[in-house]
Amino acid sequence: MKIHLSISNFNMKKFIIKTTVFAIVILTLLMSVNYWGDAAKIFHSGYERNIANIIYTGKNATNISNYDERILQKELINKIKSNPDILILGSSRTMLINSSYFENKKVINNSVSGASIEDFIAIYQMYKTKNILPKKIILGIDPWLFNKNNGQTRWSSLKKEYYNFSNKRPDKDVGNNKTQQLFSFSYFQSSLRSLPAIILGKSNPIPSSEIYNETNTKIIDGSLAYSEKYRNVSIENVDNGAKRYIAGGIYSIENFDQISPKIFNEFDDLCKEIQANGIELSFFLAPYHPIVYAKIKEDYKIVLKGENKIIKYANQNNIRIFGSFNPVKIEIDNFGFYDGMHSKEKTIQKILKVRTHNNVYKSLGNW
């Protein structure tokens, strides 16, 4: 019995040592690739500053990918010295709005992908703290803005600014994104793809005088110009992209069951604060691709309810609205899109009532 037990113990020890060593090897590999590959540049903070420095020198920054857009906004705002005329706050769906649409105006686009109410508040707070509030603000409103289950946590990069707005203490449940990503297998796959460029030193942003380049370009006004491949997407691929977009649940609205009263109150507070500071406020509702909107009409009626609520709110508060989630309402067909949710520049110009004259945009929007 004694012998049996000791053999059993010996085997158990051997098993545990071997599995532990193996687990350590795997975890080390996982963490190393995630840390050094760092697809979203969350462990290497200099990347966003590099982009901001390029922009500060009056150049556009190209060859940019997978960085923390919130941190970049912080870096950009830190470098602003005077009050802008027009500020654009929104998501990737408003990121293409650029200063050329507004004649002789100083425009800054601070849109961030998957923007939530916390992002709006935090970015506004940064301008307020620096005392460089703009004369006008365009808020890009997306349907997921009022969805408490939108799954957006990226705003946590700006949690300090967000909580400063209402003098609240940070919630404890704001997750530590860095730790999560260090052990994430999905992040491992992205970081593995970034690793060769990092090893070859080809991952840094490059200054450019051109707006349109081969890769995505951050323009000096903070807006974005898509990569050549994305700009030249065929209509067939746009439609296919829209179909793929609705194949599963639609981005950030799949669990949208009610307009969150809490978020709507925060939104109301922000709008009231903006208007109380004498800033003219407008809403921008970017349309969805017709295929996507048909699905929204069918399965996500809460989005239609949300749009009606926004329109009502805007009317009650003397806020101007541009656009609609419904492409038919604003006469946009599938040629007006890059994919299921991102409008082309010409669509945005049409919504903002911008006309071109000798290749110079002339705004009809009384900016």
Give all strands (DSSP E) within 103-246, no chain letters. Answer: 107-109, 136-140, 206-208, 217-218, 224-225
Q: Is 31 in the site for other proteins (CB under 8 A)?
A: no
Reference 287, options 252, 330, 249; nearest CA is 330
SS (H, E, C) 12-30: HHHHHHHHHHHHHHHHHHH
Judged by CB under 8 A, the residue of 241, 290, 306, 323 near other proteins is 241
Between CA 97 and CA 139 the distance in angstroms is: 12
Structure tokens that stand for 215 in this block: 């890769």
- Closer to other proteins by Cβ: residue 192 or 364: 192
For the chain, the 3-state helix, strand and coil shares in percent, each to the nearest 5, are 50, 10, 40
Judged by CB under 8 A, the residue of 6, 28, 78, 237 near other proteins is 237
CB of 14 to other proteins, least distance (A): 6
* Contacts of 338 by beta carbon, 8 Å cutoff, 6+ apart: 226, 230, 231, 233, 238, 241, 344
Q: Is 59 in the site for other proteins (CB under 8 A)?
A: no
Q: Is 355 in the site for other proteins (CB under 8 A)?
A: no
Provide the 10 A C-beta neighbour count for residue 305.
15
Binding mask 140-179 for other proteins (x = CB under 8 A): ----------------------------------------
CB of 290 to other proteins, least distance (A): 15
Q: Is 11 in the site for other proteins (CB under 8 A)?
A: yes
Between CA 175 and CA 100 the distance in angstroms is: 39
Q: Is 186 in the site for other proteins (CB under 8 A)?
A: yes
Judged by CB under 8 A, the residue of 243, 297, 305, 320 near other proteins is 243
Judged by CB under 8 A, the residue of 57, 167, 185, 298 near other proteins is 185
Judged by CB under 8 A, the residue of 83, 149, 240, 363 near other proteins is 240
- Closer to other proteins by Cβ: residue 237 or 265: 237
Q: Is 17 in the site for other proteins (CB under 8 A)?
A: no
CB of 249 to other proteins, least distance (A): 12
Hey, which residues does 138 pair with through a beta bridge?
A: 88, 282
Biggest distance spanned by C-alpha atoms of the chain: 96
CA atoms within 13 A of residue 87's CA, in its CB half-sphere? 28
The residue range among 146-154, 184-192, 333-341, 350-358 that interacts with other proteins, by the rule CB under 8 A, is: 184-192
Q: Is 245 in the site for other proteins (CB under 8 A)?
A: no
Structure tokens that stand for 255 in this block: 């669990």
Residue keyed to tokens 């100083």:
106
Q: Which spans of this chain sit near other proteins (rule: CB under 8 A)?
A: 4, 8, 11-12, 14-15, 19, 22, 25-26, 29-30, 183-186, 188-189, 192, 237, 240-241, 243-244, 247-248
